[in-house]
Amino acid sequence: MFARTAGLLVLAATSAAPLVAQTTVVDEGSFRLSIRGTPVGTETFAIRRSGEGDAATHVAQGRVALDSGEQTRALLQVEGSALRPSAYQIEVTGPEKQSIRGQAAGSRFRATIVSTAGETMREYIASEGAVVLDEGVAHQYYFLAAAVQGGRVPIIIPRQSRQISAAVSLGASETLRVAGSPVSARRIVVEPAGMPQRLVWVDQQGRVLRLEIPDDSFVAERTALP
């Protein structure tokens, strides 16, 4: 079902575009996930772009597999040079199954949530400049790095079906080691309202190299250079 929905999203995004539009892989790879230094799982992902500028569509797909047996598949579609979220899907399997499908409708997002408790529908405002960042999904921070220059940013959290505000500050370049190799990286500090701080390192192309949530002792680090 997830693969079929992903294909439909890509088809819908590209069907109105000129036939000459090509799909480009913006970034792909994997993260090693750990808590307090102990490995707990992996995240694999790919981000693709079709078209350019205001006619561009990005589709990001990722899979988080935890050693506990829980798996999360995330699909996110954003539009134009402003990287406005237009659709997302989250599928969680394991002890607590959950399915979330969200679709933009003007300035609002309409989400359908299916879990062991039943099915519910929610609608909430998606502010201008909003970025989708789901819990425990590192690659989506690519869109935060690409879209913001600091200040306050609206953050959409699909698994909570809500939007919060986050203070984002951009640090200077520093040297980070990825798979034993040094690389120049920029640190981004994200402080969501009522949630722990996030530290994100991206390379010169905005590709995510590392995510830390210090309060949770959580780290997602690339297994190889992009």
pLDDT by residue, tens only, the chain of 226 residues: 554 444 444 434 433 444 445 899 999 999 999 999 999 999 999 999 999 999 999 999 999 999 999 999 999 999 999 999 999 999 999 877 889 999 998 888 888 999 888 898 988 888 888 999 998 899 999 999 998 777 899 999 988 878 899 999 998 899 999 999 999 999 999 999 999 999 999 999 999 999 999 999 999 999 999 9
User: Residues near 135 by Cβ (< 8 Å), separated by ≥ 6?
Assistant: 157, 159, 160
Joined tokens for residue 10: 């890509």
Residue where the block lists tokens 């750990």: 34
How confident is the model at residue 2, as a pLDDT?
A: 53
β-bridge mates for residue 167, sequence order:
152, 191
How many helices (H) and strands (E) the chain has is answered by: 2, 15
- How far apart CA 210 and CA 81 sit, in angstroms, is 24
Please tell me what DSSP assigns to residue 129.
T
Q: Are 185 and 202 in contact (CB under 8 A)?
A: yes
∠ CA(196), CA(200), CA(81), 5° rounding?
110
Please give the Cα distance from 6 to 9 (Å, whole number). 5
Cα separations in angstroms, 99 against 82, 124, 136, 168:
27, 18, 16, 29
Contact by Cβ (8 Å): 100, 113: yes
Q: What 3-state class would DSSP assign to 68? A: coil
Cα–Cα distances (Å) from 74 to 106, 135, 164, 176, 184, in that order, read: 22, 11, 20, 27, 28
Cβ–Cβ < 8 Å for 124, 102? no
The residue extents of the domains of the chain are: 2-222
Are 113 and 120 in contact, with CB atoms under 8 Å apart?
A: yes
